[in-house]
Each structure stands twice: as C-alpha cells, then as structure tokens.
Amino acid sequence: MHVDVLLGLQWGDEGKGKVVDYLAEQYNVVARFQGGPNAGHTLILNNGEKFVLHTIPSGIFLNNCLNVVGNGVVIDPITFRMEVQKLEKAGVDVTHRLVIARKAHLILPTHKMLDAASEASKGQDKIGSTLKGIGPAYMDKTGRNGLRVGDIESPDFLKKYNTLRDKHFQLLRIYGEHHNEVPNEQEWMDAIAFLKQLPFVDAEYLVDEAMHQGKTILAEGAQGSMLDVDHGTYPFVTSSNTITAGVCTGLGVAPQRVKEVIGISKAYCTRVGGGPFPTELFDADGEELRKIGNEFGATTGRPRRCGWIDIPALKYTIMLNGVTQLAITKVDVLNTFTKIKACVAYKINGVITDRVPYDIVDAVIEPVYEEFPGWNCSLDGCKSKADLPEALQNYLQFLEWHLKTRITMLSAGPERDKLILL
C-alpha cells in the first residue's frame, strides 16, 4: 500500500539508472514521475550491453515489471519511438511492459525550437539546457496550453496541434525567428502514430489499484534535487519538481503513501550545464575525476564539471526529500586518490554556514574542506561492509555522521553486480 522513491540528491547523473535496474527485481511497478528526454539513465546489462534510457523507466528489462510513464513526464514522441525500437531490437517485449499516462504532456518540434531560441537569447547566461524542449513544454503545461497524450485519442488532435504550433510560430518571432513550417513535422506525426500502439492509461487509477493489490511500486526520479524548479539553483534548474513532492503530483499519489525515499549521491559531485557549483575543481583532481569517472553526459555527451562531495547541499536535499536511506555511487572512481576531500561548510563573506544560501547563484562561496586519506586499492572483491578497506569505512562513517542518514548501498562499478549492500 505504498510507493518507494529513488532520486538524485545532486545535479543529476548520480547513477539512478544503475541502481533502479538493480532494485527493479524487488518491484512490480517502476514509474517515472517527472522530466523527459533531458534525462539519460545508463544501464549495463549482464551481457555487458549498455543502454541509455531517456523517457522509459529503468525497470523495462525485467519480464514481470510494469513500467509507467507518469503524468508528470513530458514526452518527445520521436525520442520515445527511437528508445522503444532500440529496446525491441534487443529483444525486450516493450509493448507488454510499458504504459503511458494520458495526462503526460507532449513535446512538439516547436518546443525544441523555442528552447534553442531562448537559450541563444541568453548568451553568456544560458542555462546549458539539453535543448530537448523541456522548459517550453512545461511552460505550456502550466500556461494551460499543452497537448497531452490523451489528446492523441481525440478527433480534434490535429486541430489542437496546429493551434499550438501556430502559437509557437508567433512566440518564435519575439526571438526574431520567422517560421511557417516545421522541418520534421511528418516524422513527429509518424512517431505519434507509433505511440498509439502502446497502452494509454489513467495512471493515477492504475497506481492506486496496484497499491491496493499489494504490489510493490518504485518511483524513479530524473535529474537531481539541486535542479528542482523550486528548490534548486534557480534559474539554473530544470522545469519540473525533481524532489519527492514531485511523486505526488507526477503520479497522482497521496503524500502519506510514500514510504522509503532512497537518495543517491556520487562519492564526489558533478554538474553538467551552467550554474553554481561550490565545490567545482579546476585542477588535476577535477580532470582525474572526469577521466576515471568517464564524466561525459549520457544525453548530450558534454563533459561534466567535477568536484568534491558537497555536504551542505546533501543535507539540504536530504531534508527536502525526507530521505530514509542513502546509496553512494561511483566510489571506485576514488580508488586511486591518495587524498579525498569533503566540503563540510561554506564560507560566505567571512561567515561559515552549512546552509545553502538563497543567492547561491551570486554569492561567492568558499568551500570549507575536511581531508581524508584514500584507500588506494581496488574494491572488486568487496561483497559486504566487512570487506571494505578501513579508509573507505571511515569516509562512509563520516558521511553518515554529517548526513544523519544511513548508507544502505554502495556502487563500485557501472555493472549490475558491482553493488554492495551495507
């Protein structure tokens, strides 16, 4: 009778896909509740094959797991079709494992054009959007102009589409762009026809029924809590609520139904795109993290900015999400570091604080670090807490003490089996 949640506590790419893939066996339903093709969740299957999922939940590889694309998600039919076809080619029976909420909103080709125009107009201050049309699609949702999956079933769909597209043409004129046709409109329409082959559902009822039947449900977050539209590093954020609260609106689940909240953090920190990043490194350590951690975006291929773990930011996102347990990922990336640092506080205008300030974008933040000796060995043979090198155990104990939350999982490699339960 409840929903568990798994979400990122940093700026995204914490390894959510890998951990959901590992946990999915324990769940009957895996559901995405927000975001869209800006997400890139990487899974490495047992045969070593790599998949990057953008809109489809990470439970899709399991036979008896139902995957739900919730109402809070925005769907680009073209990306969606590509994802489905790739999975089908790999032998995954997508049509029997995937359902789409009628209330999920559609990303139009003109949303992507607006995204690009808006970013270009910002110049140096650009957000660093993935340019997947996310912001404009959510703007149309809250502006009450959006086109929803359920509209595809309406005889007026084409009329509704044309109205919105023409409105977008008008908006594009504000940016000095004059269009009266969309280059890939037919491709988009074909993808809409493809989408129709999948079951459209009233997902809030489906999830409620699943809860009543005693089924286990996992809500899979996208992006990270520091990219939340309300509580992230605004305006350098995405356009949805990435925190636990987003599960309630994005799936139609009442708050008291949410039980375990698994928060994921890397053993260090990364960010892709613009915006503040107090612990960002511009030195050899940052380069090492990027190189060893292979820190390049799963969706855009952009190099990720790298830095040490940021405890004030983690305390903040643990608070916002009501995190009940932590999963620390990419611990293996630190294997060769002789010294590891963790930011325990910020120094702003000479004042030490462990709070994330309102003006994080403009404030000059000097991180206050504690330093630890590295463990300098491989973690390959480690299967339990007792197997972990002492220096790593100390680092984890230090994190638990500061974060007041237990660490239940450790990921020490991208593969499924490189997960240590603590």
- What does 127 interact with, of ligand IMO, ligand GDP, Mg ion, none (CB < 5 to 8 A by kind)? ligand IMO
* Residue found by looking up tokens 């916002």 in the block: 320
Can you state the percent helix, strand and coil of the chain, rounding each to 5?
35, 20, 40
2 has catalytic annotation: no
Of 333, 340, 396, 403, which one interacts with ligand GDP (CB under 6 A)? 333
Contact (CB, 8 A) for 246 and 320: no
| Tokens standing for residue 416 | 């499924």
Residue 179, CA distances (Å) to 137, 173, 183 in order? 19, 8, 10
Q: Does 273 bind ligand IMO (CB under 6 A)?
A: yes
Q: Which of 313, 405, 403, 404 is nearest to 355 (CA)?
A: 313
Residues 97-156 that bind ligand IMO (CB under 6 A): 127-130, 132, 134-135
73 by DSSP, 3-state: which?
strand
d(CA 214, CA 186): 43
* Binding track over 296-315 against ligand GDP, x by CB under 6 A: --x-----------------
CB of 317 to ligand IMO, least distance (A): 13
- What does 263 interact with, of Mg ion, ligand GDP, ligand IMO, none (CB < 5 to 8 A by kind)? none
Contact (CB, 8 A) for 379 and 332: yes
334 by DSSP, 3-state: which?
helix
d(CA 139, CA 145): 8
Of 3, 4, 9, 13, which one interacts with ligand GDP (CB under 6 A)? 13
CB of 125 to ligand IMO, least distance (A): 12
Q: Which of 217, 291, 316, 153 is nearest to 6 (CA)?
A: 217
Of 272, 333, 379, 388, which one interacts with ligand IMO (CB under 6 A)? 272
Of the residues 13, 21, 228, 332, which is catalytic? 13
Residue 347 has phi, psi (to 5 degrees) of -105, 115
Q: Does 222 bind ligand IMO (CB under 6 A)?
A: yes
Q: Does 317 bind ligand IMO (CB under 6 A)?
A: no
CB of 178 to ligand IMO, least distance (A): 24
| Number of residues this chain uses to bind ligand GDP (CB under 6 A) | 23
402 has catalytic annotation: no
* HSE, side-chain direction, 13 A CA sphere, residue 165: 17
Of the residues 4, 41, 105, 140, which is catalytic? 41
The residue (of 110 and 211) whose beta carbon lies closer to ligand IMO is: 110
| Tokens standing for residue 330 | 């990419």
d(CA 317, CA 410): 19
**Residue type, position 185, single letter:** E
CB of 127 to Mg ion, least distance (A): 17
Of 9, 39, 326, 333, which one interacts with ligand IMO (CB under 6 A)? 39
CB of 302 to ligand IMO, least distance (A): 7
Identify whether 367 is preceded by a cis peptide bond (ω within 30 of 0): no
The residue (of 95 and 294) whose beta carbon lies closer to ligand GDP is: 294
Q: Does 41 bind ligand GDP (CB under 6 A)?
A: yes
Instruction: Quickly list DSSP for 170-227.
Output: HHHHHTT---SS-TTHHHHHHHHHHHTTSPEE-HHHHHHHHHHTT--EEEE--S-GGG
d(CA 11, CA 3): 23
Question: Which ranges in 36-156 belong to alpha helices (H)?
Answer: 77-89, 109-122, 134-142
Of 20, 23, 24, 40, which one interacts with ligand IMO (CB under 6 A)? 40
Q: Does 134 bind ligand GDP (CB under 6 A)?
A: no
- What does 38 interact with, of ligand IMO, ligand GDP, Mg ion, none (CB < 5 to 8 A by kind)? ligand IMO
| Tokens standing for residue 174 | 């504000």
- What does 411 interact with, of ligand GDP, ligand IMO, Mg ion, none (CB < 5 to 8 A by kind)? ligand GDP
Of 36, 37, 40, 274, which one interacts with ligand GDP (CB under 6 A)? 40
The residue (of 91 and 301) whose beta carbon lies closer to Mg ion is: 301
| Tokens standing for residue 250 | 């994005």
- What does 18 interact with, of Mg ion, ligand GDP, ligand IMO, none (CB < 5 to 8 A by kind)? ligand GDP
Q: Which positions touch ligand GDP (CB under 6 A)?
A: 8, 12-18, 40-42, 44, 294, 298, 329-330, 332-333, 411-414, 418
Catalytically active residues, by annotation:
13, 41
Binding positions for ligand IMO, rule: CB under 6 A: 8, 11-13, 35, 38-41, 127-130, 132, 134-135, 222-224, 227, 238, 272-273, 298
